[in-house]
Structure 1
Amino acid sequence: MAATTHTVTNQVPPLVGYDVFRADLALTEAVERHVAPDLLSSVREDLGTLGRSAGSAHAQEWGANANENPPKLRTHDRYGHRVDEVDFHPSWHRLLGHAVSAGLTDAWGRPAGHVRRAAGFLVWTQNDAGHGCPLSMTHAAVPALRTDPALAAAWEPLLTAKVYEEGLRPPLEKAGVLVGMGMTEKQGGTDVRSNTTRAEPLAGDGEYLLTGHKWFCSAPMSDAFLVLAQAPGGLTCFLLPRVLADGTRNVFAIQRLKDKLGNRSNASSEVEFDGTWARRVGEEGRGVRTIIEMVAATRLDCVVGSAALMRQAVAQAIHHTAYRSAFGGLLVEKPLMRNVLADLAVESEAATTLALRLAAAYDADTPQERAFLRIAVPTAKYWVTKRCTTVVGEALECLGGNGYVEESGMPRLLREAPLNSIWEGSGNVQALDVLRALQREPQALDAFLQEIGKARGADHRLDRAIKDLLTELADLEAMEARARRLVERMALVLQGSLLIRWAPPEVADAFCASRLGGDWGSAFGTLPHQLDLASVVERARAYDR
């Protein structure tokens, strides 16, 4: 009957069939900036191939299906035998397989490896953030395993392989594996030193039996996990395989799957160990030190993942307003809507630029860059992940009531947005980690100040912000109570410095006028109207260029 009552007009076509990488100027320019000229052509080609796949209809359908059909736990088989398996929708496996084959678990030791991987992660996870979890943990497990050369020699080729093999089999018999991690327990959460899981040594060198639990264990169908447990010498890191070398199942009892706000495609579980075999990684009592590089790498992925969510939300908002008419013209041409879109675009570009700068520091791997990362990673993790929810919520509003409907995809982005702010340490943990670095590692602050100082003198608002930041850093009174405000200012000054050096003048000007200049309201869409907002919006629009 609808066809006889009205004609459907003024509806927005889906944003599909485009190159997600090449349509993102902030990202493509960052790759060109941070990748050596002799590698740039091949890196761009690889990312372009991945970008076209990410923008395709079938990849977008995979993401929707994986979230509409969340994983299901099977504790027992039909005969009553304990199996502890999680069944995923085929779309989950397609997403994961495509990501692994694109090298999104392989970065360490490769020229421009981290920049290439971060850009690919930002592109591909715009379809579904859930499967980014096992990708991130597998990638991040490499530096922890390298503390034991024998383990690294056996496992690293499998972690970095471009082959995804689903199903539980002895890991060393597979062509490629995924590795997860389990650190938090019921009584401690972030305070892992309060863990109670026990590790009892066996006769074999480095072999232990674990008894206890993990309150959060994501992607439980991974082939192995890095976990923390209390050994005789203190809190220690262990590698725990799901299947033992002889083909028998390790004791890994999945009690239940978490019913989460978002991240629905990914299984997060509660598990128990009861005489579970594990291999020690690193020295006894040095568990936190062993696993800390894994934590830092996954924190960077929280920044990249949030930048991906922001980018997809902003792309959808601009796309919608570029086609939707109201009150006599396209929404994108209305001054107030243009202000909102430009503000969102600036935030998205600042996040992307910072994320790729951190990835480039990993590739450089110099003492200066390592010192910079020590303070810049938790700073970025604190700020970018917090901004994500606000950005996605405002972008959803640009679609009006259509954005509140599941079919638009925006509600899924909004449910996903808070996760990265919580995973790998919530806001307070990041802020306190920055304070710890400031107090104990002066070389980290020196590296940070040198980085922001590279743009000094180019904009009076940045210069004033740097001066104010130095005043705050010199004030030691009630430092912990002021930690969030301090880290926020550090993040904004760092982003401003990067944009002044690398972004187009209209983007840098908008950022400095609002985030650093004090002329910024409590909501998006309050940029000074004299700025070139149309160019900012056009730059962020998603279409093949």
Structure 2
Amino acid sequence: MKPQSTHEVTNQTPPLEGYNLFASDPVLAAAVDREGAHWHAEALVRDGARIGKPEILALAELANRHAPELFTYSPRGERIDTLEFHPSWHRLLELLREEGLHALPFSEPRPGAMVARCAGYFLHAQLESGSLCPLTMTFASIPVLRREPALFAALVDKLYSREHDPRDAPLDEKRSMLVGMGMTEKQGGSDVRSNRTRAFALDRGGRGNAYRLVGHKWFFSVPQSDAHLVLARAADDEGLSCFYMPRFAPDGTRNAIQIQRLKDKLGNRSNASSEVEFLDAFGIMIGEPGRGVPTIIEMANYTRLDCVIGSAALMRAALVQAIHHARHRMAFGKRLAEQPLMRNVLADLALESEAATLLFMRLARAFDAHLAADAGELGADSDAERAWRRIVTPAAKFWVCKCALEFTGEAMEVLGGNGYVEESPMARFYREAPVNSIWEGSGNVMCLDVLRAIERDPPGMQALLAQWRRNTDGHAVLGTALAELEALLGGPPDAREVLARRLAQHIVLCAQAVSMLEAAPAASADAFIATRLGQGAGRCGRVYGTLPASFDHSAVIARAFEH
């Protein structure tokens, strides 16, 4: 007897694929043009189309389902500490390097190069997060390594190469390289000044000379990298120094870095993070002795910007999935996107995503100004641009990365049960969301960095406030918010630390409000400012979907995702 069908499958949302991630994002496209990277738009259109193809989107799920494996010993019992990745991981890294996202502003310097790189990074971060880690660290290592001319000359071709070379071999035999980081230890975490790893000079010691390192790292990112930058103490009476530690020693043997295990992480599963021990590992001191933390801070500034971009990209990826679902799914006789309360939620999410995008692109402009100043362009890095980079970047890292957790959860709720299962990318987005809040300094660390940056650069903060006042265009709500910010800044010094989170939040919301006024439709900017900084902000709380009833929710949703 022929079995009967129990039901017909209807009212299910088709997969979101075959779309152009750049062309369907008018906010990003306009920001690329406004911030000086119009020359890169054609490459972004091409890359956006490639990322949206079904076979490329599938790489993300494969790379996260087939996590990296550690092989400590060879079949003959030799210590090898090597990792094996699924081919999808290597394809993802190929795509990233082909677009120059590991080095573009340094390898091909020109006005707007940092903006171009950040836009491309944002597109790829919507595809898969774990593969970004090695690219971010390699990128951030370049300005540090460039300050060591002899070492950099030996590495530059492989650092700048647009080819991904996955071989675990001495660097002389490879066509490209990746650079990782190893900063934190068991006893300290973010308090790297408590690090106990020791460095012993092989000869005279000092900058540019060889050392042997003994100690451990509790989080050693991307252990398969061709080199790592690490912190160690070369003398009891001085601070930490920074060292370049290659995967292979100068004689071609594996450096004495033993991988104890890989971290079993909540998310970021495609990427390997490890615990290691150094047993007389070879390293070269970079920067001045005892000045390792200031040396590495420059690297951290770039990685923190990438954390902001990565979180903004998770928000964007979750948003387009939610809008796509709402445009197809029927409930109670209407499509979800036609229902007033759902439109309010989606429009509110769209405004949050837009503000995050505008913020990181504005920060990219400030980093471009810094690179121009480094290249000798007089007056490029003004007090205000310096403040955007030094003060707003950690505030943005604190706030946008925090928002991504709530945002991805809300977007998942739009899909309901279908969003909660592993077949949906929403589960992966949600698991990825916390990492950027933790990596490179958790929330309190960021807020204290904001406080220190303000205290060290009062002219920068004043220039930033002056710039924002000029850009308010007489906006009453934002004008009041800026006055409140100035009052916070002028409060009792002994109360600033306990209020550091409030201060950082206020700074970044003002920065986003100014950016929205500059670039978003007036109605969108007004709605964002009213619900985040206005008198109604307290009543709205942190729940999405509380925009005014009179707001044109449909127009914002249509503009957010043109597909």
Tell me which interval the TM-score lies in, with the shorter structure as reference length.
Answer: over 0.9
Q: Over the residues paired in the alignment, what is the CA RMSD in angstroms?
A: 1.4
Counterpart of 2:113 in structure 1 is 113
Q: Which residue pairs with 2:46 in the alignment?
A: 49
State how far apart, in whole Å, the 2-side matches of 1:168 and 1:244 are.
13
List 4+ stretches of structure 1 deviating above 6 A: none
The question of 1:211 aligning with 2:225 is answered: no
- SS of the residue corresponding to residue 216 of structure 1 reads strand
Distance 1:335-1:163 versus aligned 2 partners, 3 A rule: same
- In structure 2, the residue matched to 1:516 is 533
Q: Which moved more, 1:445-454 or 1:339-348?
A: 445-454
Q: Which runs of 5+ in 2 are unaligned?
A: 371-379
1:321 is aligned to 2:326: yes
Q: For residues 4 and 511 of structure 1, what CA distance do their matches in structure 2 show?
A: 50
Alignment match, 2:26: 25
Aligned to 1:453: 469
Q: Which residue of the partner structure matches residue 244 of structure 2?
A: 239
Cross-structure match for 1:166: 166
Residue identity opposite 1:74 in structure 2: F
User: Which one of the candidate residues 82, 88, 94 is aligned to 1:85?
Assistant: 82
1:397-412 maps to which residues of 2 (within 5 A)? 397-412=413-428
* 1:431-446 alignment runs, 5 A limit: 431-446=447-462
2:82 aligned counterpart, secondary structure: strand
- Cα distance between partner residues in 2 of 1:504 and 1:157: 44
**Conserved 8 A contact 2:220-2:274:** yes
1:382-403 residue CA offsets vs partner (Å, 9 max, x unmatched): 1110000000000000001111
Counterpart residue identity of residue 127, structure 1: L
Alignment correspondent of 2:510:
493
Shift of 1:317: 0.3
> In the comparison of the two structures, how many residue pairs are matched?
539
Query: How much has 1:370 moved relative to structure 2?
Result: 2.5
Aligned equivalents of 2:3, 2:258: Cα separation in 1 = 53
**Does the aligned pair in 2 maintain the 1:138–1:179 contact within 8 Å?**
yes
- Alpha-carbon spacing, 1:3–1:145, altered in 2? closer, same or farther (3 Å): farther
Question: 1:213, 1:273 within 8 Å by CA — same for their partners in 2?
Answer: yes
In the superposition, relative to structure 1, how do residues 2 and 475 fare at CA in structure 2: closer, same or farther (>3 Å)?
Answer: farther
TM-score normalized by structure 1?
Answer: 0.97
Residues 199 and 209, structure 1, Cα contact 8 Å, conserved in 2: yes
Q: Which letter maps to 1:502?
A: A
2:342 to 337, 342, 349: 337
Displacement, 1:542?
4.8
Separation of aligned partners in 1, 2:248 and 2:120: 31
Asked if 1:531 is matched to 2:551, the reply is: yes
Structure 2 counterpart of 1:253, from 247, 255, 258? 258
Shift of 1:3: 7.0
Q: Distance in 1 between matches of 2:524 and 2:81?
A: 51
Aligned to 1:262: 267
Secondary structure of the 1:211 match is strand
Q: What is the DSSP-based 3-state SS (H/G/I as helix, E as strand, rest coil) of the residue aligned with 1:226? A: strand
* C-alpha distance in 1 between matches for 2:4 and 2:41: 46
Amino acid at match of 2:143: P
Q: How far is the alpha carbon of 1:19 from its aligned partner?
A: 0.7
Q: Normalising by the residue count of structure 2, what TM-score does the alignment of the two structures yield?
A: 0.94
* Pair 1:183-2:199 in alignment: no
User: Given that residues 228 and 235 in structure 1 are in contact (C-alpha distance below 8 angstroms), is that contact kept between their aligned partners in structure 2?
Assistant: yes
Of the three residues 386, 392, 400, the one matched with 1:376 is 392
1:224 and 2:227 equivalent? yes
Q: Is the 8 A contact 1:342 1:537 kept in 2?
A: yes
Q: Secondary structure at the match of 2:488?
A: helix
Q: Deviations over 1:233-260 (max 9, x none)?
A: 4310000000123321111100000011
In the alignment, does 2:403 pair up with 1:387? yes
Change (3 A) 1:283 1:312: same
2:68 pairs with 1:71: yes
Residue 458 of structure 1 deviates from its aligned partner by 3.9
Match of 1:300 in 2: 305
For 2:470 and 2:431, the matched residues in 1 are separated by 37
Paired with 2:460 and 2:405, the residues of 1 have a C-alpha distance of 29
- For 2:199 and 2:350, locate their aligned partners in 1 and report how far apart those are by CA, in whole Å: 50
Which residues in structure 2 correspond to 1:266-277 (within 5 Å)? 266-277=271-282
Tell me if 1:463 matches 2:483: no
**In structure 1, what residue type is equivalent to 2:513?**
G
Q: Is the Cα–Cα contact under 8 Å of residues 107 and 117 in structure 1 kept in the other structure?
A: yes
Q: 2:375 maps to what in 1? A: none
CA distance in 2, matches of 1:447, 1:416: 36
Residue 497 of structure 2: SS of its match in structure 1? Answer: coil
Q: Which runs of 5+ in 1 are unaligned?
A: none
The equivalent of 2:289 in structure 1 is 284
Indicate the residue corresponding to 1:481 in structure 2: 498
The answer as to whether partners of 2:369 and 2:381 remain within 8 angstroms in 1 is no
User: Percent identity at matched positions?
Assistant: 51
* 1:519 Cα deviation from its structure 2 partner: 2.1
The residue identity in structure 2 corresponding to 1:494 is: A
